[in-house]
Amino acid sequence: MATLSATASTVDGTGSRTLHANSSDSKKIVGVFYKANQYASLNPEFVGCAESALGIRDWLESKGHQYIVTDDKEGPNYELEKHIHDMHVLITTPFHPVYVTAEKIKKAKNLQLLLTAGVGSDHVDLKAAADAGITVVEISGSNAVSVAEDELMRILILVRNFLPGYRQVIDGDWNVAGIAHRAYDLEGKTVGIIGAGRIGKLLLQRLKPFNCNLLYHDRLTISPELEKETGAKFEEDLDVILPKCDIVVINTPLTEKTRGMFDKERIGKLKKGVLIVNNARAAIMDTQAVIDACSSGHIAGYSGDVWNPQPAPRDHPWRYMPNHAMTPHVSGTTINSQLRYADGVKDTLDKYFKGEEFPAQNYIVKEGKLASQYQ
């Protein structure tokens, strides 16, 4: 089995750090997770919160490692800052992200491994991490089923105009017309999947029984077998696929190429009355352009659980725009997903301690090079 160097942390001739591990070394590992408070004890499988700390504390400490866990990642005198200078590993999540800036990386002289418990490492300045020789790894695939199921739910919520009906019940009202005037069947609608990776492929399979017209856009085509199974048709040009879609689902990673991809001009190319689901990253959208299009009715409904920044401040304008079905970032942190990414983190750390290579698909930055999806 391929191994990583098994010595203490060093700096190479270019000034870049390199990833090293030695089973006899004690490492300082810092985990940053959202705090569950009264919910922490309600489910023994709720491992993704700060109180449960991925369920790996006893294992780490039995091996002689120091494990610091906090939810305090920003603001005056925040807890994480006390540990930046001497931590070897930082574990964070997309749901309560530490924005790992070039400034933090410069301070973190001992940092060897940035580990995302989940999928999506855009909260890290990847160029700065690559330049510093820091390895960035995530638990690829751990959230795929959870997010795909969530996207299907959001499509149905928007198509059936569900939320106004729910609000009527809560408010003691009864106005069928207020819901029915913009409630439709999903059958026969054209759904465009923008980004057909693990999540996009699963969503295509789940949409097949609804008899939709399925289109997809990506850098690469899916397999001929999956195209045949789902009936999905590939469109190479994003600006060609968008005007055809009644519903657009965004599944692309956030990169410099996709940041702000859906600006005012591109949103203007969408059908009037389009529905948009975005569980990818909020910064793919132009914030004000989404607000304006929802207000004018050009976007008839927008649903997702990703915000910019996260957690979203109380005055974030997406909280108050019309015809939205937004939630906090929860789609990839179901209990099942938590168990998968907790197991993945433990496996990754075990390989790190043993000096073994990580699964190839989990690398985001390796030996100073970014994975292809982030280039």
Q: Which residues are annotated binding-site positions?
A: 119, 143, 198-199, 218, 253-257, 279, 305, 329-332
Strands 274-278 and 247-250: parallel
For 242, residues 6+ apart whose C-beta sits below 8 A from its C-beta are 192, 248, 266, 269, 270
Active site residue 340: no
- Residue 265, amino acid: E
Which amino acids are annotated as binding site for substrate, given as ranges? 119, 143
Annotated catalytic residue within 278, 310, 323, 362:
310
Q: Which amino acid is at 181?
A: H
Choosing from 17, 88, 281, 340, which is the catalytic residue? Answer: 281
Which among 217, 329, 338, 340 is annotated as catalytic? 329
66 is catalytic: no
Task: For residue 153, give the 3-state DSSP assignment.
Answer: helix
Catalytic residue among 17, 65, 123, 143: 143
Tell me how far CA of residue 158 lies from CA of 209, 306, 328, in angstroms: 18, 17, 17
Closest listed residue to residue 120, CA positions, set 366, 362, 369, 368:
362
Q: What angle do CA 318, 262, 74 make, to 5 degrees?
A: 50
- Return the beta strands (E) in 222-374 as ranges: 233-234, 247-250, 274-278, 299-304, 324-326, 363-366, 369-370
Using alpha carbons only, give the angle 277, 283, 284 rounded to the nearest 5 degrees: 55
The verdict on whether 83 is a catalytic residue reads: no
- Residue ranges for the known binding site for NAD(+) are 198-199, 218, 253-257, 279, 305, 329-332
Task: Give the catalytic positions in this structure.
Answer: 143, 281, 310, 329
